[in-house]
Copies of this chain bind each other. A is one copy, B any other.
Amino acid sequence: MLPAQRRDELLRVLRTEGRVVAKDFAARHGLSEDSVRRDLREMAAAGLCQRVYGGALPVSPAVVDYAGRQGVAVENKDRVARRAAALVRPGSTAILDGGTTALAVARALPADLEATVVTHSPTVAAALAEHPAVKVLVLGGRLFKHSVVTSGALLAEAAAGIWADVFLLGVTGVHPEAGLTTGDAEEAATKRTLASRAGDTYVLASAEKIGAASAFRVLPLGEVTGIVTDVPLDDPAARALLDAGAPLVAAP
């Protein structure tokens, strides 16, 4: 990445996300933290941003407040996303589900990662367009409006022709008795189809999903390789899941 490009990108992220975390930005784009910090320092000196401990914020305080709230809200999902992103090994093939957590995973993938990602979410596909080294395969089909993913016969047909190392599955509930659940029957079926096309299946389960249950079961707790969560494993809800045989994996 060209130095000038790097600075443009920093400004862009600052504008769109309301903040820049030096460490994350460096990791995401395969840069040294030093270069990022140096840029931020110079941009701050030029009045283009406001340097703070850990990164930078936009100059205008109005934007900062908003960004701050957003930041706190997404922090949990980010932790799960970062942990899950590490499951996509260089050179491997991964299936990425739809939904906000899966979208966060797509964004958390290292910028220089060379891998193949299969997805049935147009939103995730568009996000992955930012990752130059990732081969992206979109599974077509009828668009399911609520969660913005494709499903149906066309998808099943396309999915039959692929095989992935890992499937990162998003659900709306992880419950000791109900298992892994989601809010729509067809969506559940689609997720099952995708799970059958990968060697390992990991569930993306940020805190608000733990202990929750929706109407339709995707899979029983024990039939996935791991459930990535940011809830501490000694939390009562987590204990209940572990007792029910859920393979919980704590995000750092």
Residues of A within 8 A of B (CB): 2-5, 8, 19, 21, 50, 52-55, 57, 61, 66, 120-123, 125-126, 128-129, 132, 135-143, 145, 148, 150, 154-155, 158, 161
Contact pick for A4, options B53, B125, B135, CB 8 Å: B53
**Chain B residue contacts of A139, Cβ below 8 A:** 140
Task: Report the 3 A-B pairs with minimum CB-CB distance, sorted nearest first.
Answer: A140-B140, A122-B122, A4-B52
> Is the Cβ of A129 less than 8 Å from the Cβ of B154?
no
Q: How many copies does the complex hold?
A: 2
The answer to whether B52 touches A129, judged by C-beta atoms less than 8 angstroms apart, is: no
Q: Is the interface of A mostly helix, strand, loop or mixed?
A: mixed
Determine which of B53, B126, B140 lies in contact with A141 in the assembled complex, contact meaning CB atoms within 8 Å: B140
Distance (whole angstroms) from the CB of A149 to the closest CB of chain B: 9
- What B residues does A66 contact at CB under 8 A? 129
Q: Do B126 and A54 touch (CB < 8 A)?
A: no
Report Cα–Cα, A140/B66, bound state, in Å: 22
A62 nearest CB across to chain B (Å): 12
How far is it, in angstroms, between the C-alpha of A154 and the C-alpha of B57 when the chains are bound? 41
Q: Looking across the interface, which residue of chain B has its beta carbon closest to that of A141?
A: B138
